[in-house]
Amino acid sequence: MLLLISCNDKKEVENGPSKQASVEKTKFEMYNLSPMAALMEQMYGQMNQVKQIIKEGGDSLDLGDFPELHNDLLTAELTDPTDKDFFFIEQAEQFLKLERVLFQSNRANAVENFNAVVNSCLTCHKKKCGGPIPRIQKLLIK
């Protein structure tokens, strides 16, 4: 009985695709971020830095200058171009307005302004592209 099972297993291997054929069919393709996805990755990194500055405390608050690159939110090519509709443009403009307020914040209102920016990201992503929501939620300062 053991011999029969071994023979059957061997035949399946002989009849199956060769290892080389499998390797040839499996090509590795590198994922390329769309310009919008790449921009949002940069924005996420910057928001993490801003979060750390706010959480460190201290008497003064210096978040630096408003990142002008973020204005590309209105023009960068999206992964799915059909997502760029009235809702998206409206949300992008709101985000930029809130972010400008954040970069002018003082210590007293920095957390509130920061969370307003993050919540504007969440509002758009809940409707357009939900994948990054858990990551974005981690930016909120509690």
- Please report whether residue 117 resides in a domain: yes
**CA–CA separation, 63 and 7 (whole Å):** 71
Model pTM score: 0.77
The residue type found at 41 is E
- Please report whether residue 41 resides in a domain: no
For residue 100, is pLDDT > 90? yes
Query: How much is the average pLDDT of 82-105?
Result: 97
**CA–CA separation, 99 and 139 (whole Å):** 14
**Per-residue pLDDT reduced to its tens digit, 20-67:** 555 556 677 777 899 999 999 999 999 999 999 999 988 889 999 999
Say what the pLDDT of residue 7 is. 45
- Please report whether residue 128 resides in a domain: yes
- Please report whether residue 112 resides in a domain: yes
For residue 2, is pLDDT > 80? no
Alpha helices by DSSP H, listed for 16-139, are 19-25, 35-56, 86-103, 110-127, 133-137
**Comparing C-alpha atoms, which of 39, 34, 42 is closest to residue 73?**
39
- Please report whether residue 42 resides in a domain: no
- Please report whether residue 56 resides in a domain: no
Q: Which two tokens stand for residue 92?
A: 């992008």
**Comparing C-alpha atoms, which of 135, 122, 139, 142 is closest to residue 50?**
139
Q: How many structural domains is the chain composed of?
A: 1
- Please report whether residue 33 resides in a domain: no
- Please report whether residue 123 resides in a domain: yes
**CA–CA separation, 71 and 83 (whole Å):** 18
State which residues form the domain around 105. 89-141
